[in-house]
A and B are shown apart, each in its own frame.
Chain A
């Protein structure tokens, strides 16, 4: 299985969230946007080149800072 943190995913890749490696506060903040284990994300702008990450889920674009993205553990889909 191809497991990595969200900041390392390349653009246009679909990923599934495996877990959020952080405290309750971080989890709750991500929850608000619908990001928790089990959610499917489409990475629209990769964090590999630096800067924040842009993901698309449930019909919305969400910008996530690098620090947070590093704590979101995902796997590539297909």
Chain B
């Protein structure tokens, strides 16, 4: 079907082929429901987050409008068009360098005044644009009534009301977006304060004279330069170094007449403009104290908040481990039978037999040992996240995290670490500074994941008692806090501190929770699992070629120092390949499943402590490379090995000579 073409003379959409590749780009502030709209039209391909920064990379999909398919891109949520964090850089870079036929600016109607500040910045890009007033129901509930027609007139762009969570208005939104794209109707400039406009106009004149037409609109360039945006300042510095002095003059002019620095003047102007638009189009009836506020009075209380936090975590971990234990045994049995079958089929002592059974054990290790704990854990965590409790945990933990040199947000990756270190390390990207990301990654790798849990419970818990296992978790927390403290002293750098939107509580949408769980499980399946399988194959080969003796010999200095049997050497090496295997390998290496006959209590404790702290597993190292680069990986590996050795040694000395 040929789309009906608007009668505007300026349109150039005769080339329908070109138009078929039209790009619709969704831009909006975090939690505005942008991803929900994207998922509604493009299928579930992105994570919808109730936590700032859930989407860091952009997602691409297809949307069907009036029987034609177009590209639709979901950019990460950004509060502004400046470049203070990773997500914003992604969005800004995308809008400036990629093909964008129409911007769909999604706005949470219940917080219109703040959202308009981004809208005004987007309009400066001079790209056809349409405003999507989402969450209209939420706005009504808050007593905010918006005159959409007037808003559209004031901004000079189409405005469409939607309720994305119920799928309302979405179709109309995209039809209108298509129309806007086809008309190539650029947003008009909105006049603000006269003095400020005069300075901007002056700078625009200079820029127009001196600069070749570039991808950036001159108007955007002028305001961004007055705002001292590092990206645009850098652009001028490298392409037109001679202009720097002139720009400085304009900045000074602005700050002289307004008594504050030029970037403050611009942001204040934008704020004033959006407030005045908001006041013109919206009527607000007095908001009442909602049940949400009442809930926060308890959940974020100075004392009750922590009591609730402990209770929530207690229930949470009990549920996770309950489900895990229930699933683990039958699954292990299944894979034992499978590897037995392979052994019978291919022979226990042949090379193919060894490789196949080794690989099956690797696959089984993933499915039977890690997934039963990881999946419920991630499911529960996504649930807590979507309800809106996770940001509140970050809030409560802020003071504590400050003592170890981080801020509240860093608690999120650390908590994830209890499931699996791989998604935990991935999650460090929600932090702003590289230094914070490094320390958070270090801490996350020291958190005992569900694989190491099998050792804590299977060895220390089983033979030495539940209290010892619990004590080990507490001890681990102390060591983590200490490590964070040390590294924050070494890497002295002002961290930006916490600033985070605390979203309203939401009833989680099942699809969204499942999707998020899937994305995090995928990190494990795609990165960790193949390495697990390869690791177990290598393990099987080592046994086949009788290399275990040599490895034990090579590690003898370490095992002897820690007072452990020489045979455990291999289990330590291969614990790096697969943490949860250390336990099974221990049985194998010592030739018994009753540890109390071959190891003393002290030896068991030393072994457990060492295994809990030393070197992250290969899969974790794999993602660490992505997040903290080679130097960081080496440092973390070295540090964790050192701390594990020292702690194990202390415990040995303590157990042997003091007790």
B 275-299 to A, binary, CB cutoff 8 A, 1 in contact else 0: 0000000000000000001001000
Contact A52 B398, CB 8 Å, known A27-B263, A32-B82, A59-B111: yes
Counting contact residues on chain B (CB < 8 A from A), the size range is 35 or more
A65/B84 in contact, CB under 8 A: no
B272/A38 in contact, CB under 8 A: yes
B55 proximal to A (CB < 8 A): no
- When distances are taken between beta carbons in the complex, the residues of chain B under 8 Å from A30 are 499
Q: Which residue of B lies closest to A52 (CB)?
A: B398
Tell me how many residue pairs across A and B have CB atoms closer than 8 Å: 116
A49/B268 in contact, CB under 8 A: no
A63/B111 in contact, CB under 8 A: no
B263: contacting residue among A28, A54, A63, A66, CB under 8 A: A28
A50: contacting residue among B110, B112, B399, CB under 8 A: B399
B407/A65 in contact, CB under 8 A: yes
A51 to B399, CA, bound (A): 5
A33 to B80, CA, bound (A): 9
A37 proximal to B (CB < 8 A): yes
Q: Which residue of A lies closest to B266 (CB)?
A: A31
B267: contacting residue among A25, A36, A67, CB under 8 A: A36
A8 proximal to B (CB < 8 A): no
A74 CB to closest chain B CB (Å) equals: 15
A52/B408 in contact, CB under 8 A: yes
- When distances are taken between beta carbons in the complex, the residues of chain A under 8 Å from B391 are 63
Residues of B95-146 at the interface with A, using a CB-CB cut-off of 8 Å, are: 110-114, 117, 142, 144
B395/A63 in contact, CB under 8 A: yes
A52/B498 in contact, CB under 8 A: yes
B271/A29 in contact, CB under 8 A: no
A34 to B278, CA, bound (A): 14
A14 to B158, CA, bound (A): 36
A 50-63 to B, binary, CB cutoff 8 A, 1 in contact else 0: 11101001111111
B300 proximal to A (CB < 8 A): yes
A57 to B535, CA, bound (A): 53
B114: contacting residue among A29, A33, A45, A51, CB under 8 A: A33
A64/B111 in contact, CB under 8 A: no
A60/B263 in contact, CB under 8 A: no
Counting contact residues on chain A (CB < 8 A from B), the size range is 35 or more
B499/A61 in contact, CB under 8 A: no
A36 to B117, CA, bound (A): 12
A64 to B402, CA, bound (A): 13
B268/A37 in contact, CB under 8 A: yes
B260 proximal to A (CB < 8 A): yes
Q: Point out which of A30, A51, A54, A67 has the most chain B C-beta atoms below 10 A from its C-beta.
A: A51
A32 CB to closest chain B CB (Å) equals: 3
- When distances are taken between beta carbons in the complex, the residues of chain A under 8 Å from B351 are none
B261: contacting residue among A24, A33, A38, A65, CB under 8 A: A24
B408/A63 in contact, CB under 8 A: yes
- When distances are taken between beta carbons in the complex, the residues of chain A under 8 Å from B111 are 58-60
Q: Which residue of A lies closest to B504 (CB)?
A: A61
Contact A61 B267, CB 8 Å, known A24-B261, A31-B80, A32-B80: no
B344 CB to closest chain A CB (Å) equals: 60
A27 to B260, CA, bound (A): 12
B497/A67 in contact, CB under 8 A: yes
A24: contacting residue among B263, B399, B496, B497, CB under 8 A: B263
A34/B497 in contact, CB under 8 A: no
Given contacts A63-B500, A67-B497, 10 further A-B contacts (CB under 8 A): A24-B263, A27-B263, A28-B82, A28-B267, A36-B268, A39-B271, A51-B399, A54-B395, A65-B408, A66-B402
13 A-B pairs within 8 Å (CB atoms) are namely A24-B228, A24-B261, A25-B496, A26-B496, A33-B499, A38-B272, A51-B396, A52-B395, A63-B394, A63-B498, A64-B499, A65-B398, A68-B496
Q: Which 8 A-B pairs have the closest CB atoms?
A: A32-B79, A65-B497, A65-B498, A61-B502, A59-B111, A58-B114, A34-B114, A68-B497
